[in-house]
Amino acid sequence: MAYEIDEIDRRIVAALQRDASLSVDQLSEEVHLSRNACWRRVKLMEDEGIITGRVALVDAERLGYGLSVFILVRTTHHEPGWLDRFRTAVQAIPEIQGVYRMSGDLDYVLRARVPDVKAYDRLYQRLIAKVPLSDVSASFVMEEIKETMMLPPIVR
């Protein structure tokens, strides 16, 4: 049976989404739970795969990755062997941050961060060398209006 989160778990998840660096003491104070009970809940949610990791969010531009790119892919290949090669290829390219299999006209959308257009071209060349693609186009982000990893509050 799947782990059912309750209101306290929701408050823990919301607090950790705002600041994953909270100590157990700080977290327990924020959600009004004892330190040990709070730690047990966090550990259980990690074990159940509800909390899948904790990261530091960084300013990509200040680290030299100022260009955000959405790569739109169409392919005529849909057999399992091709898909395995595609998965391996995109997972091996660190600039690719997200890969999504789509319904509709597109087969895949990839989200990447690169320093500039020349770096995107090098990424593109590496990708097509690893797996055949029928049609690839890219859209470069002109302005990031909203970017978040936080999920909205869990409503029951």
* Domains along the chain with CATH numbers: 7-47 (1.10.10.10), 67-140 (3.30.70.920)
Tokens, residue 127: 């990708």
Give the per-residue pLDDT at 140. Answer: 98
Give residue 49's Cα distance to chain centre. 15
Distance CA 150, CA 4 (A): 20
> Tens digit of pLDDT for each residue in 92-124?
999 999 999 999 999 999 999 999 999 999 999
Quote the pLDDT of residue 155: 67
Check residue 2 and give its pLDDT.
82
Confidence (pTM): 0.84
Please count the helices (runs of H) and the strands (runs of E) in the chain.
5, 4
Instruction: Give the mean model confidence (pLDDT) for residues 65-81.
Output: 94
Cα-based distances in Å from 64 to 70, 90, 124, 140: 18, 21, 18, 16
Could you read off the pLDDT of 20-56 as tens digits, one per residue? Answer: 999 999 999 999 999 999 999 999 999 999 999 998 8
pLDDT value of position 156: 64
pLDDT confidence of residue 89: 97
**Lowest mean pLDDT, pick from 12-16, 17-21, 137-141, 152-156:** 152-156
One DSSP character per residue, 82-142 reads HHHHHHHHHHT-TTEEEEEE-SSS-SEEEEEEESSHHHHHHHHHHHHHHS--SEEEEEE-S
At residue 1, does pLDDT exceed 90?
A: no
**Tens-place pLDDT, residues 128-150:** 999 999 999 999 999 999 998 88
Residue 17 has a pLDDT of 93
